[in-house]
Amino acid sequence: MGRLFAGTQWDVPPRCDRCGALEAECRCPPPPAPARESLPPNKQSAKLAVEKRTGGRFVTVVRGLAAADNDFPGLVGQLKAACGAGGTHKDDTIEIQGKHLDAVRAALERIGYRVKG
Ligand SMILES: [Zn+2]
């Protein structure tokens, strides 16, 4: 945008809206990229499996949901509460301790996810 009043008494040099410094002198970091639009749960399909880990422990594994599209810490918290069990997430996989296929499925469906397997 041109400076409409260049050379007049209204010719105020542009300043940064964040720090108030002249734009030429501003050292603010670039604004963060807009958050990626996340997929609604009903556009995502979770795949469930019970797997045996070393030591004979069973875990209920949720795959097919992308960490980028979901609040995994919040989701793991809801699944742990629904199962009364511990749980964790790594990359795009969620694991809940123990065999909890039905409870995990019900909790995911209650939130709105589609569930396979
Ligand atoms: Zn600035």
pLDDT digits (tens, 9 = 90+) for 69-83: 999 999 999 999 999
Under CATH, which architecture does the 41-116 domain have? 2-Layer Sandwich (3.30)
How far, in Å, is the centroid of ligand 1 from the Cα of 36? 24
pLDDT of residue 31: 76
How far, in Å, is the centroid of ligand 1 from the Cα of 14? 11
Residue-wise pLDDT tens digits, 21-40: 998 899 998 877 766 667 89
* Percent residues over pLDDT 90 in the chain: 72
Region of 63 on the Ramachandran plot (φ > 0 left; ψ -120 to 50 alpha; else beta): beta
Q: What residue segments make up the domains of the chain, in order of their start? A: 41-116
- Return d(Cα 12, Cα 6) in angstroms, integer: 8
How far, in Å, is the centroid of ligand 1 from the Cα of 31? 10
Reading across the β-sheet that carries 45-52, which strands appear in turn?
87-90, 93-97, 58-63, 45-52, 114-116
What is the reported pTM? Answer: 0.68
